Amino acid sequence: MDCEALARRFYSIETLRRAARRVLPKVIFDFADGGAENEATLRRNEADFDRLELVPRMCAGVGTPDLSLELFGRQLRLPVLIGPTGLSGILWPAGEIAAARAAQAAGTIYCQSHGSTCTIEELAAGAPGARWFQVFLYRDRGLTRGMVERAQAAGCEALVLTVDNQVLGQRERDLANGFAIPPRLGVRGMLDMALHLRWLVRMRAARGIGFANYRGAAGHAEDIVSLGAYVARMLDPELSWRDVAWLRELWRGPLLLKGILHPDDARIAAEHGVDGVIVSNHGGRQLDGAVSSIRALPAVAEVAGDRLVVLLDGGVRRGVDVLRALALGARAVLIGRPHWWGLAVAGEAGVALVLDIFRRELERAMALSGCASLPAIDRRLLAPSAPNEPAAPRLRLVG
């Protein structure tokens, strides 16, 4: 399908999600689509965006809105970045390279996951434009150090330390489907795989899918599921601010913490020389019951002031959600699942379409709201009445 036909058929992120559901085996779709335990945080991430009402301004002479911004010294054409997602290569051969190329072509940034199916170096060769790298803190600090040094050598422009994943959340769709440790696909699961022929044929080309950055590390195994267990065993649940300070020493460049929800943590991050925080609950995949990202944002942004760049992810599905996040103090947002749906449907062209949908929707939302540029978006765009207002004060009282 050419790009125009693709864009005609898939006019929103939800249309792509439905198509991805058809294309992918259930076990893979649910791995991405699902969240932890009751999935309450997962649902709230999206629902809380819808509760934020806009009060648009008229006669503002907007014309075509300017979506450009500067982020850590790089000019971007879109305030929507692609966040780190492990194992993107199970959707499309060399999925990370496809997604990174689409992001770079759209004038934005791709953040490679620690758990990508290609190495840091392979991504740098296949998509040499703007890239960030996401890392965890391992019990073996040498493993973290090694990845950080490789990311630096490969020209990654920023390092993201994910801090909300040191203990893995329980994702119950994965347990039900047998995406578990050890694998328990069963007859139904195997049949479901076999029935998704398009995906099967496409993935024949992709050999040896796994966490490529760990190749050669002690205890490395080759199958995806036991690698999940392997990574879980490697993560250090005693992660503390001392480790953040250690990483700050090690990494020469912008350092961001991903998974910050409490304003006090944002304050402490700034005191440790961190450059930015990503307000995130890991897309509802970790602590079920955690506050939605958009509700946590105002209090974090207030503490951050000019000291930290504040980004947000979780539940961003529309251009108007980007507008809402920017109105509450985010400089830009990241997307996780939406880019997976594009990748599953059409590889690089699918991710390009996802970013184009966000661009068009944001442009339209800004034009309809009277915002000519991103700096013109502020809190006055949101209705002052409940449920917008309680978000910040209530969180500020905690702790």
In the complex, the residues that contact ligand FMN under the rule CB under 6 A are 32, 45, 83-86, 113-115, 134, 162, 258, 280, 282-283, 285, 313-316, 335-337
Beta-carbon contacts of residue 303 (< 8 Å; ≥ 6 apart)? 263, 264, 266, 267, 270
Is 210 or 314 the residue whose CB approaches ligand FMN more closely?
314
| DSSP characters over 140-183 | SHHHHHHHHHHHHHTT-SEEEEE-S-SS----HHHHHHT-SSS-
Q: Closest separation between CB of residue 290 and ligand FMN, Å?
A: 12
Helix 337-369 crosses helix 13-23 at what angle (to 10 degrees)? 170
Pairing of strands 74-76, 80-82: unpaired
Please count the other Cβ atoms lying within 10 Å of the Cβ belonging to residue 48.
22
Q: Closest separation between CB of residue 209 and ligand FMN, Å?
A: 14
Is 144 or 162 the residue whose CB approaches ligand FMN more closely?
162
Distances (CA, A) of 298 to 88, 148, 189, 384: 31, 31, 43, 13
Is 335 or 381 the residue whose CB approaches ligand FMN more closely?
335
Q: Closest separation between CB of residue 46 and ligand FMN, Å?
A: 7
Q: Closest separation between CB of residue 57 and ligand FMN, Å?
A: 28
Burial of 233 by CB count in 10 Å (0-12 exposed, 13-18 middle, 19+ buried)?
Answer: exposed
Strand-pair partners of 162 = 258
Give the active site residue among 114, 196, 262, 282: 282
Phi-psi region of 124 (alpha: psi -120 to 50; beta: other; left: phi over 0): alpha
Angle at 246 between CA 261 and CA 128, to 5 degrees: 80
Is 62 or 351 the residue whose CB approaches ligand FMN more closely?
351
Is 117 or 162 the residue whose CB approaches ligand FMN more closely?
162
| DSSP characters over 292-316 | PHHHHHHHHHHHHTTTSEEEEESS-
In angstroms, rounded to a whole number, what is the distance separating the alpha carbons of residues 144 and 6? Answer: 40
Q: Which of 69, 124, 45, 31 is nearest to 318 (CA)?
A: 45
Which residue is at the shortest CB distance from ligand FMN?
Answer: 336
Is 62 or 99 the residue whose CB approaches ligand FMN more closely?
99
Q: Closest separation between CB of residue 360 and ligand FMN, Å?
A: 18
Query: Distance between alpha carbon 341 and the CA centroid of its chain, in Å?
Result: 13
Q: Closest separation between CB of residue 64 and ligand FMN, Å?
A: 27
Query: Distance between alpha carbon 101 and the CA centroid of its chain, in Å?
Result: 16
Rounded-to-5 percentages of helix, strand, coil across the chain: 50, 10, 40
Is 85 or 117 the residue whose CB approaches ligand FMN more closely?
85
Query: Cα-atom radius of gyration of the chain, to the nearest Å?
Result: 20
Q: Closest separation between CB of residue 370 and ligand FMN, Å?
A: 27
Q: Is 262 designated active site?
A: no
Active-site residue list: 282
